[in-house]
Structure 1
Amino acid sequence: MRTIIIGGGKIGYNLLKTLKERGHQVTVIERDKDTCMKIAEDIDTDVIWGDGTDLEVLRDAGIDDAEVVAAVTGTDEENLVICQIVKLISNTKKTIARVNNPKNNTMFKNLGIDNTVCSTAVIANLIECALSKDDYRIINTFELGSMILAELLIKEDGPWCNKMVKDLILPKECVFVSLLRGENVIYPRGDTQILFEDKVMIITNNLVLSHLVAELYDGGNKKWL
């Protein structure tokens, strides 16, 4: 896969190193000359000293042949502009933008950026994993932290205990994956009954998970209705 990385800082450097180790063809664009020289000395790859928002620089980097463009500079605005320029050149190319401010995630996606990476959100999810309680725990995160695989323990006095799956009112951002009953894995159907001490596996997002936890363990309301 041919990839262009714009931004040769720590994130760009480590991304480049990882992709090269996996056999990808990568070109880096970096506006700082000293950083370019360091990358060129450390890694056998094409490095261009220039501005990633400059169309001519992008063409010199081989934008016409690239399949993916990752804008990982330290500035959200610059990353957005780079990805928009790439989309204007060819809407078929995949764009990935580093987002430093989590509040910009939605805006980037609404403006057509294919994927965003927010280290702040990923770190927050990792912290939540470490703070998971006995009643529930976060198993893993996907899509750069925006999706969560969680395990919910069913309590005897909980609202889901002894209910059938078809009777649950779930938000659309929640997928019921499986039930763990002792050592058995049950793939639920509508008439599957949820029992005391079952462990329910769901895929959802951070906001919905917090509402589900409130409903199951704290007597909270279903705020997604």
Structure 2
Amino acid sequence: MKSDARQLDRSDPHSEELEAEYYVLGGGDVGACVARQLYESGQVVNLIDESNDCPTTPGAQGDPTDLRTLRNAGIPKDSTIVVATRSDKQNLLIGQLVRAHFDVGRVVVLVNDRDRFEVFAAANHEPVCATTALSDALVESV
């Protein structure tokens, strides 16, 4: 599996010698969208995903469930981690890997099945339920 970091454009103010404050791990379109929105709002962000081909957001292409990929990403202390794959099992695994091996400030984890929300909270993650967020947004729109 590939885990080569893309070269950052040093003329871009987002790619200064700053360590990323946010690491978005996985998620395909959802993860790419979260990373892009954080980046466009001026945050320092890195996206790590197997299909990471987003040229506008710094990051690496690699498996976020692989500890070597996460170590190669150089996740700094006190970063905020956003885990956003389509699989609750993978999200829980990635969250646990990050908690066990990195001294990060926050681990925000996408929960796809609202019945699993408490499991993620008990694992000391900040769960965000996709179903609840989407239904709340739809009700607010109507």
Query: TM tier, shorter chain?
Result: 0.7 to 0.9
The offset of 1:61, in angstroms, is: 1.1
Q: Which residue of 1 aligns with 2:129?
A: 118
> Which structure's residues are more often helix, by fraction?
2
Runs of 4 or more off by more than 3 Å in structure 1? 126-131
Of 99, 102, 109, 1:87 maps to 99
Q: Tell me, which stretches of 5 or more residues in structure 1 are unaligned?
A: 132-225
Q: How many residues align?
A: 123
Measure, in 1, the Cα distance between the counterparts of 2:27 and 2:95: 16
Q: Relative to 1, partners in 2 of residues 1:3 and 1:129: Cα closer, same or farther, differing over 3 Å?
A: closer
Output one character per residue of 1:172-192: Cα deviation in whole Å (capped at 9) or x when no partner: xxxxxxxxxxxxxxxxxxxxx
Q: TM-score, length-normalised on structure 1?
A: 0.50
Q: CA deviation at 1:92?
A: 4.4
Distance 1:126 1:30, change over 3 A: closer
Seq. identity, %: 26
Q: TM-score, normalised by structure 2?
A: 0.76
Higher relative contact order (CA 8 A, sep 6+): 2
Cα distance change on mapping 1:10 and 1:87 into 2, 3 Å:
same
> What is the CA-CA distance between 1:90 and the residue it aligns to?
3.6
Residue matched to 2:34: 15
Q: Is 1:99 matched with 2:111?
A: yes
Cα distance in 1 for partners of 2:99, 2:87 equals: 19
Greater share of strand: 1
Q: Deviations over 1:1-45 (max 9, x none)?
A: 61111115221111111111122111111113xxx23x12xx041
CA contact (8 A) 2:77 2:102 kept: no
Separation in 2, partners of 1:44, 1:75: 23
**Structure 2 counterpart of 1:77, which letter?**
K
Distance 1:27 1:128, change over 3 A: closer
Matched, 1:28 2:42: no
Q: Partner amino acid for 1:10?
A: D
Kindly tell me: are residues 59 and 124 of structure 1, through their superposed partners in 2, closer, same or farther at Cα, counting changes over 3 Å? same
| Structure 2 match to 1:45 | 58
Aligned to 2:4: none
Bigger-Rg structure (1/2): 1
Return the alpha-carbon distance in structure 2 between the equivalents of residues 74 and 49 of structure 1.
17
Q: 1:61–1:19: structure 2 CA closer, same or farther, 3 Å change rule?
A: same
State the shift of 1:125 in Å.
Answer: 2.5
Backbone CA RMSD of aligned residues: 2.0
Gaps of 5+ in 2: 1-19
What is the one-letter code of the residue matched to 2:115?
K
Which of 61, 70, 76 lines up with 1:64 in the alignment?
Answer: 76
Cα 1:18–1:117 change in 2 (3 A) is same
Residue 54 of structure 1: aligned partner: 66
